[in-house]
């Protein structure tokens, strides 16, 4: 992403979102990006039961910091 930004002034959120969204990896994968203007409460904590319910897949590098959160299908 930073290579794509080289020489581009980051003058607005729209510019940043567009630069991120136009990024491709060396393998040709595309990055998807959209601006979320929502506000969220700070300092929220999850119980052990709530954490156990999450579908987390740790990444190979620093899996304690880097992970993917997968959707949990609700029971209908």
Q: Per the domain annotation, does 16 fall within a domain?
A: yes
In a domain, 41, yes or no: no
Q: Which residues contact 33 (CB under 8 A, 6 or more apart)?
A: 17, 20, 21
* Banded pLDDT at 1 (limits 50, 70, 90): low
| Whether the predicted model's global pTM rises above the 0.75 cut | no
pLDDT at 7: 80
14 pLDDT more than 70 = yes
Rank 4-8, 22-26, 54-58, 71-75 by mean pLDDT and report only the highest: 54-58
pLDDT in tens, 22-64: 888 888 878 777 888 999 999 999 999 998 899 999 999 888 8
| Distance in angstroms (rounded) separating the CA atoms of residues 5 and 71 | 31
Give the residue numbers spanning the domain of 56: 2-36+47-70
In a domain, 75, yes or no: no
């Amino acid at each position: 992403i930073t290579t794509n930004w080289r020489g581009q002034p980051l003058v607005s959120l729209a510019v940043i979102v567009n630069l991120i969204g136009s990024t491709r990896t060396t393998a040709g994968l595309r990055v998807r990006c959209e601006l979320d203007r929502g506000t969220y409460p700070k300092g929220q904590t999850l119980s052990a039961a709530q954490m156990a319910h999450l579908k987390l897949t740790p990444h190979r590098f620093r899996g304690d910091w880097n992970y993917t959160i997968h959707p949990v299908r609700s029971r209908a």
